[in-house]
Chain A
């Protein structure tokens, strides 16, 4: 119970910090927008191609954005040296991770939902008919990105060149999420949509594996 209560309090803190400045959300939204526009300049897709490649590009943009957005997650705590106080305040360090990764998932989802209409318009792909399934894939994918990303940002925050290091550590690790979410999204947004439950299940397994790993090793990640 104390884990949930601690997590809820910390999640509140993360959300308050972000919604006071809205720095992360604004920059991430603009970043995804820039990447999506640059992609369409780089390949100028036809209608068929954009159905085929669009979802993959969207996921790539999300992954790039996440690898930048997740940077400050532990760095913020370092600036005022608040991490040690956080560690003292909660009995289970997993609560710190859980709060941060839930906050990150939420931020990612908000940016994705804001981006979705623009993506649909730019790439001329109707997203509304399959919206509920698409949101499920976006949720499971973003959760996976956030779980792995939060853990790795705790690692990269303690190294030199951390801004460059996080994407280098994170992006290869997220290959399964990219492959599966992109493929599932492509078949969802096809002219004859198919829901790939196997892929959705796979994303859930990815989330579960990494959540368990963070639960097991989280306390070592925060060791001083």
Chain B
């Protein structure tokens, strides 16, 4: 059994891991659809988006490891951290739910990601800027795919509408966390690494309002509930994902494909 690595929680490392881990964990959830999606085309689409997210995550984790300076590579960071050292937003780790839940979550996260990548293109860190230059193009397709499906399902049959309504009621409260600012993103803003997350809230809400308008959905009221995955405090679902993700590397240390 491989020991966990100890992460140096520098602000810039945490900042990149908030983005990279959100991509990584959402990719894991999307990949669960492989062989289970309602139609073959969407099965393939979700797997393709998961692949994009894994690629973005690999680049960010690699760079986070470089900034950390402790010699940790992408694989060690992906597979050998303890739960409290993962900084993904809680929304990414929620169980995949039904197809309506999945596309609604994708819309929330992809709209956030697209706005974030647009800002990270101007990062003072050349590597982050380069990663963002590619990722922003991918995020646009993810956002478009999710928005398209949310409109189709909300404006579809009574059953599809019922499912979107249920998904929205469940998931909306987890979106607030994506826009919380603290010492980590304030430091990133100060050095020019990336924006404060709170700055993304307004354009994100404008985009969500436009999509919801087309779908005939109302933007739910804010809730007092706050999830805390970006600070390493996760939901009960996180441990199960990590058990699945980490099993091979923990049991067969250094195993390669």
Are A and B interaction partners?
no
